[in-house]
Amino acid sequence: MKTHSIRKKAWVWLLALFLVGIANASLLPFWQPAYWHNQRRLDELNVQIRQRGEAVKFSGLEVQDDESYLLGDATLRLLNQIDKPQDSFYSIIEADKLPIPNKYPILEDAVATNRRTLDELAAIETPGTCRFRYDFEIPSPYSTQLKAISGLRNAKSLRSAEFIQAIGNADQDRAVRAVVELCDTEALLRLEPFLVSRSFQATIGNRAIDCIAMLIGHVKLTPIQTEAIDGRLAEMEGCFRLKPTLLAERACLFTTMNNIGHPDVGEYLASCGGLDTDGRFFLFSSSSKIDRWSSISYQTQLHGRADLDAREHDLAG
- What is the full DSSP assignment across 237-302? HHH--SHHHHHHHHHHHHHHHHTTTSHHHHHHHHTGGGTT-TTB--SS--S-HHHHHHHHHHHHHH
Q: CA 4 to CA 95: how far, in whole Å?
A: 90
C-alpha 90 chain-centroid distance: 24
Q: CA 260 to CA 304: how far, in whole Å?
A: 9
Residue 299's pLDDT is: 53
Number of domain units in the chain: 2
Judge whether 220 lies within some domain.
yes
Residue 79's pLDDT is: 96
**145 φ, ψ to 5°?**
-95, 125
The count of C-alpha atoms lying within 13 angstroms of the C-alpha of 171, restricted to the half-sphere facing its C-beta, is 14
Does 146 have pLDDT greater than 80? yes
Query: Per-residue pLDDT tens for 216-232?
Result: 999 999 999 999 999 99
Judge whether 22 lies within some domain.
no
Q: C-alpha angle 145/147/152, rounded to 5°?
A: 135
Does 113 have pLDDT greater than 50? yes
Q: CA 105 to CA 99: how far, in whole Å?
A: 13
Instruction: Say yes or no: 192 and 281 in one domain.
Output: no
Across all residues in the chain, what is the average pLDDT?
79
Distances (CA, A) of 44 to 247, 260, 302, 314: 17, 22, 24, 15
Instruction: Say yes or no: 177 and 300 in one domain.
Output: no
- Domain-terminating residue out of 210, 243, 276: 243
Instruction: Say yes or no: 137 and 254 in one domain.
Output: no
- Domain-terminating residue out of 215, 243, 271: 243
Instruction: Say yes or no: 165 and 279 in one domain.
Output: no
**280 φ, ψ to 5°?**
-105, 140
What's the pLDDT band for 275 if we cut at 50, 70, 90?
very low
What's the pLDDT band for 21 if we cut at 50, 70, 90?
low
Instruction: Say yes or no: 179 and 285 in one domain.
Output: no
Judge whether 49 lies within some domain.
no
Q: Which whole number is the average pLDDT over 255-270? A: 78
Structural domain including 296 reads 246-310
Does 293 have pLDDT greater than 80? no
Instruction: Say yes or no: 142 and 291 in one domain.
Output: no
**260 φ, ψ to 5°?**
-60, -25
Query: Per-residue pLDDT tens for 76-105?
Result: 999 999 999 999 999 999 888 889 988 899
Q: Which whole number is the average pLDDT over 114-128? A: 91
Instruction: Say yes or no: 254 and 304 in one domain.
Output: yes
Specify the range with the lowest mean pLDDT, choosing from 45-49, 57-61, 118-122, 133-137. 45-49
